[in-house]
């Protein structure tokens, strides 16, 4: 029992070093997300003040007071500084479309829906993609690989909006079909990558040695080939999760699900600058969290980090 403790401490130290090495870049990305959300909120057409009065007749003095109260009379640099300071205090502003409702309240209602969809899609895409990749890596039969190639090309070529619409019509708009619309392109990506990596690993000498010892096909794939393909598969987690994340807006809109993607689309259409900017910020920060998770999975899957061979 005590012999395992140095390995665990060493693993924690190496993972911490790996994450720390990526932290400056991720913090820079987070800062860029804050700037992008601010610029996105100002790039939408329309006057936020006129949206506040909802088209009602307003005298110039009222418009001036509203503009001063929202800080829109300040230079753009001052507005950004105020925006960034408010973010540090957890203040995302008020929605223009929903009559002054705090943006944080809208996000807190929409975010669980999006996270639930993404979690369900990942839970479906990962086993399906790995199973298809394992089947297609079988060099004794050519048809699984051919079928996977054709199927993955089709799954990745169909626009997310069209795919979600087809599945919505097929499933009468039920939530499981929304999960399927998110999971299908992700499963295709995982399957293609798994097949490529497994095919490469199956050509190594240690695989031929395992076969010479009498191990069956399934045992060779699961006990020898798959563990050696986990590092590049873990490295692809960020791309796969990013694909799921970027597809949520189309899926939530088609299935009329009250998630973050649909909230962002509605905010853009309604010229709700504060909600649109906050949605952009949350999406980018979610991608930062995905990148950190991918780094952690790479570290756990990499045998060089699991070993006791000294710090990098």
Span 25-36, mean pLDDT? 80
Tens digit of each residue's pLDDT (9 = 90 or more) over 100-158: 788 899 999 999 999 999 999 888 888 888 888 888 776 555 666 677 777 777 766 77
The answer to whether the CB of 114 falls within 8 A of the CB of 260 is: yes
Alpha carbon dihedral 174, 176, 177, 180, in 10-degree steps, equals: 170
The per-residue pLDDT for 32 is: 82
Q: How far apart are CA 201 and CA 210, in angstroms?
A: 12
Global pTM reads 0.74
Tokens 């992008």, residue located: 36
DSSP 9-32: HHHHHHHHHHHHHHHHHHHHHHHH
User: 140 vs 135, 155, 213, CA distance in Å?
Assistant: 10, 25, 19
Alpha carbon dihedral 30, 35, 38, 40, in 10-degree steps, equals: -90
Three-state DSSP at 94 gives strand
Tens digit of each residue's pLDDT (9 = 90 or more) over 239-261: 788 888 888 888 888 888 899 98
- Scored b (16 or more CB within 10 A) or e, 140-162 reads eeeebbeebeebbeebeeeebee
- CATH tag, 4-306: 1.10.3720.10
Tens digit of each residue's pLDDT (9 = 90 or more) over 154-193: 766 777 777 778 877 776 666 778 888 888 888 888 888 8
Tokens at residue 177, please?
């079909």
Tens digit of each residue's pLDDT (9 = 90 or more) over 1-10: 444 444 566 6
Mean pLDDT value across the chain: 77
Q: Which of 18-22, 85-89, 231-235 has the highest mean pLDDT?
A: 85-89
User: Which residues on adjacent β-strands are paired with residue 20?
Assistant: none
Cα-to-chain-centroid distance, residue 27: 17
């Amino acid at each position: 029992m005590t012999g395992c403790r140095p390995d665990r401490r060493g693993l924690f130290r190496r993972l911490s070093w790996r994450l720390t090495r990526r932290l400056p870049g991720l913090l820079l990305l987070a800062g860029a997300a804050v700037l992008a959300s601010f610029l996105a909120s100002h790039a939408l057409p329309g006057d936020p003040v006129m949206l506040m009065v909802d088209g009602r007749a307003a005298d110039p003095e009222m418009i001036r007071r509203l503009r001063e109260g929202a800080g829109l009379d300040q230079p753009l640099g001052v507005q950004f500084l105020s925006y960034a300071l408010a973010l540090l205090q957890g203040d995302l502003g008020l929605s223009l479309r929903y009559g002054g409702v705090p943006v944080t309240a809208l996000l807190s209602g929409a975010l669980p829906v999006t996270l639930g969809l993404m979690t369900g899609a990942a839970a479906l895409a990962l086993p399906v993609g790995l199973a298809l990749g394992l089947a297609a890596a079988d060099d004794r039969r050519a048809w699984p690989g051919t079928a996977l190639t054709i199927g993955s090309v089709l799954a990745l070529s169909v626009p997310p909006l069209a795919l979600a619409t087809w599945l919505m019509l097929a499933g009468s708009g039920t939530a499981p079909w929304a999960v399927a619309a998110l999971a299908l392109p992700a499963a295709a990506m995982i399957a293609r990558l798994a097949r490529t990596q497994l095919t490469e690993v199956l050509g190594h000498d240690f695989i031929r040695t395992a076969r010479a010892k009498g191990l069956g096909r399934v045992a060779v794939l699961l006990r020898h080939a798959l563990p050696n393909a986990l590092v590049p598969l873990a490295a692809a987690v960020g791309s796969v999760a990013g694909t799921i994340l970027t597809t949520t807006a189309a899926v939530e809109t088609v299935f009329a699900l009250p998630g973050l993607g649909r909230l962002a689309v509605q905010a853009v259409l309604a010229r709700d600058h504060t909600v649109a900017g906050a949605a952009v910020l949350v999406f980018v920060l979610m991608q930062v969290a995905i990148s950190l998770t991918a780094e952690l999975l790479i570290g756990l899957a990499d045998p060089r980090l699991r070993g006791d061979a000294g710090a990098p």
